Amino acid sequence: MNRSASRTVLLDAALVGVIAILIVASLLIGQVHLPLGDVIGGALGAAPAKSTIIIQQLRLPRTLLALLAGAGLGLAGAVLQGFLRNPLADPGVIGISAAGSLGAVVAIYFGIYAASAWVIPLGAMSTCAVATIILYVIAARNVGTLTLLLAGIAINSLCLALISLCMNLSTNPYAVSEMVFWLMGSVSNRTLFDLGIAAPFVLAGILILLRSGKVLDAMSLGEEVARSLGVALQRERIFLIGGVACIVGGVVSVAGGIGFVGLVVPHLMRPLAGHLPSRILVPSMLGGAALLLAADIVVRLMANGPELQLGVLTSLIGAPFFFYLIVRRKALSDE
Amino acid sequence: MSRLTVRDLSVWLQGAPIVRNVSCAVGAGEIVGVIGPNGAGKSTLLRAACALIPAAAGAAVLDGQEITAMSPDARARAIAYLPQRHVLHWDLSLSQVVSLGRLPHVSGMDRLTPADRDAIGRAMEIAEITAFADRRVGTLSGGELARGMLARALAVEAPLLFADEPVAALDPYHALHIMELLRDLARSGRAVLVVLHDLTLALRFCDRLLLLQGGRLIAEGAPQDVLVPERLEAAYRVNAEYGVRAGEPYIVPWTRLPGGGLG
C-alpha cells in the first residue's frame, strides 16, 4: 500500500516534469521562429513587441488552454469511469459535452456569434446548464446510476440530432463550415479572454472532483456497499455531476468538442498508478494536460496546408489506441 | 454493549409490502439467524435495518438512537454490511479491498493511519486470508473471495455485522469455515445478524433464529424451538428428516409438500 502510494507520487512528479518540458516546447514552436530568450522575455513582457505579442496573445493562451482543457477532461474521465464503474465512460457519455456543442452551433446558426466574443461561450454554457439540470431532475428521483448513464446517452443523442438539424437547415455555407470547425475542437487562435471564460469553471470543477476519491473507492464495491460504508450517494451524485458539468461546459464553450482525452487518459494511468479509483485522479489530470498539450504541439508541427484541428488529432490517435487497450484487456481477462 | 432493536418495521418495494411489522433485536455476543423461504423478506429486513433502503413504517434503533437519524459515517462505523453478491469493479488486490472497509473511519484511502492498518491486519487474520492478501481478487476461488469480502466487512470493526447469505455459493468446507468465523465473532462480543438458507447451519451455529414468511415474522427463539416440523411445513412447504450427531441436531429437507411453494 505504501509502495503503491509512493509510486503514485513518483508518477505525479514525472508528469509534472513532462508538462514543464511541453510548456517550453509549446512556447517555442510555431509558424514564426523565436529564440528562447525572446520566448522568456515575451512571457515576461520584456522582449521586442512582435515577440511579446506572439507569446502573450497566441502561444501562451493556446498553451494554457490546452493544459486546462486536458487537465479537466482527463480528471473528469477518471471520475466518471470510477463513478459509473464503467471503463468506457468519458465526459461525453453524460450528454453535457454534446449539449455544449449544440449551444455553440445554435449561436452560429443564427449568425449572432459575430456580435460578441461572449456569444458562443454563453450559448454553450446555457445548454450545458440545461442538460445538467435535466440530469439533476433525474438523479433527484433516486434512480440507479445506470439510469443516469442512459439518460445521459439520450441527451447526447438528442443534442447530436439537433446539431445535425442546424447544419441541415443552414442556408449559409460559411456558417456550416464554422459549425464543423467548431465541433472538431481546437485551442488555436484562442485569446486570454477565452481562457478567462473557461478557467473559473474548469478550475471549480477540478476542485470539486479532486475531493471525490473516497466516494469512488467505495463505489468500486458497488452502490449498496458504498452506502453501507457511509457514502451519501444522492448528495455525491449532485457534486460529481456538477463538477463534470463545470469542466465540460468550460472546455466546450471555448475549445469545442475535444474527444477521447477523458476516455483514454485514465486507461493510460491505471497500469502506472494502480486500479484504485482515487489513485488515478491526479495522474489523469496531469496526464490529460500533458497529452492535450503534446497533441496541440504536434498539430502545429504538421501545419502544412490547413491546420489539423486538435480534436481531430486526439480522436485519430485516441481511437486506435483505445482499440488496442480493449483488445489487450480482453486477452488478459481470458487467461 | 451494542444492541439493535427493530420495532414494527415495514418495507414496501415497488408498491408491494416486502417486510410487514417485524420487531426483533440483536445484541452484543450473539449470532442471530434470519431464515425463511425465497421472497420472505430476509434480505430486505437486513437492508432496511441498516438504512440501506427506506422503511415505510417502524424504526431500527441502535443503543437508543434511530439509525436513520445517524450520520452516514456514524452508521457505517456502527454496522458492517456484507451483501449476498460480491461486487468488485476494478482489478484490485485483496488487501486493497479489505482496506476499503476502513473508509468510514478515514477521509480517503491515502489517509490510512497505523491504527487503520492494524485493523486491516486483524480482519485479514480473523478471516485467514493473510497468506494471499496480495493476490488480485479476480484470481481468487469462491471460498477465498467469500472470506476476503468478510474480512472487508470485519475491517470496519463495527459492533454489528449484517451478513446476507454469506455461505450461499460455498462448498461445505468453506461454508463451515465462514460459520465458525461468524460464531467466533459473536463470542468475541460482536452482534451478528446473518441470513441463511442452510437449516442445519442455522440450527447449529445461531443463538436465536427469526423465521420470516411473506414478510412477517412467524417464529422467533432458540433454533430447536423454531425449526420444528409444523413450522418447516408451513413456512418452507417441505418435510424434513431430523437427526442428532454427537449431541448436535441436524435437519435434512427431504420431500416437497403437495400444493406448491410459497415464495
What is the model's pLDDT at position A335? 36
Name every chain A residue with its beta carbon within 8 A of the beta carbon of B72.
227, 230-232
Which of A159, A172, A152 minimizes the C-alpha distance to A126?
A159
Asked whether the beta carbons of residue A278 and residue B152 sit closer than 8 angstroms, the reply is no
A334: pLDDT strictly greater than 70 = no
Task: Report helix, strand or coil for A258.
Answer: coil
Q: What is the ipTM of this complex?
A: 0.92
Asked whether the beta carbons of residue A229 and residue B96 sit closer than 8 angstroms, the reply is no
- A77-86, A238-247, A297-306, B193-202: the lowest-pLDDT one: A297-306
Which of B14, B87, B88, B98 is the mutation pick for testing A, counting most A CBs within 10 A? B87
pLDDT tens figures, B125-177: 999 999 999 999 999 999 999 999 999 999 999 999 999 999 988 899 999 99
Which of B71, B82, B84, B103 is the mutation pick for testing A, counting most A CBs within 10 A? B103
pLDDT tens figures, A130-161: 998 898 888 777 677 788 888 888 999 999 99
The full 3-state SS of chain B, as one line of letters, equals CCEEEEEEEEEEECCEEEEEEEEEEEECCCEEEEECCCCCCHHHHHHHHCCCCCCCEEEEEECCEEHHHCCHHHHHHHEEEECCCCCCCCCCEHHHHHHHHHHHHCCCHHHCCHHHHHHHHHHHHHCCCHHHCCCEHHHCCHHHHHHHHHHHHHHCCCCEEEEECCCCCCCHHHHHHHHHHHHHHHHCCCEEEEECCCHHHHHHHCCEEEEEECCEEEEEECHHHHCCHHHHHHHHCEEEEEEEECCEEEEEEEEECCCCCCC
Name every chain A residue with its beta carbon within 8 A of the beta carbon of B105.
none
pLDDT tens figures, A221-279: 999 999 999 999 888 988 998 999 999 999 998 898 888 899 999 999 998 999 999 99
- A with B: how many residue pairs have Cβ under 8 Å apart? 87
Asked whether the beta carbons of residue A229 and residue B88 sit closer than 8 angstroms, the reply is no
Name every chain B residue with its beta carbon within 8 A of the beta carbon of A213.
108-110
Question: Residue A231: closest CA among chain B residues belongs to which residue?
Answer: B72
Asked whether the beta carbons of residue B89 and residue A219 sit closer than 8 angstroms, the reply is yes
Partner residue facing B100 (CB), from A227, A229, A275: A229
B262: pLDDT strictly greater than 70 = no
Distance from CA of B185 to the nearest CA of A (A): 20
Asked whether the beta carbons of residue B92 and residue A5 sit closer than 8 angstroms, the reply is no
The stretch A286-313 carries a mean pLDDT of 88
Question: Given CB atoms, is B251 within the 8 Å cutoff of chain A?
Answer: no
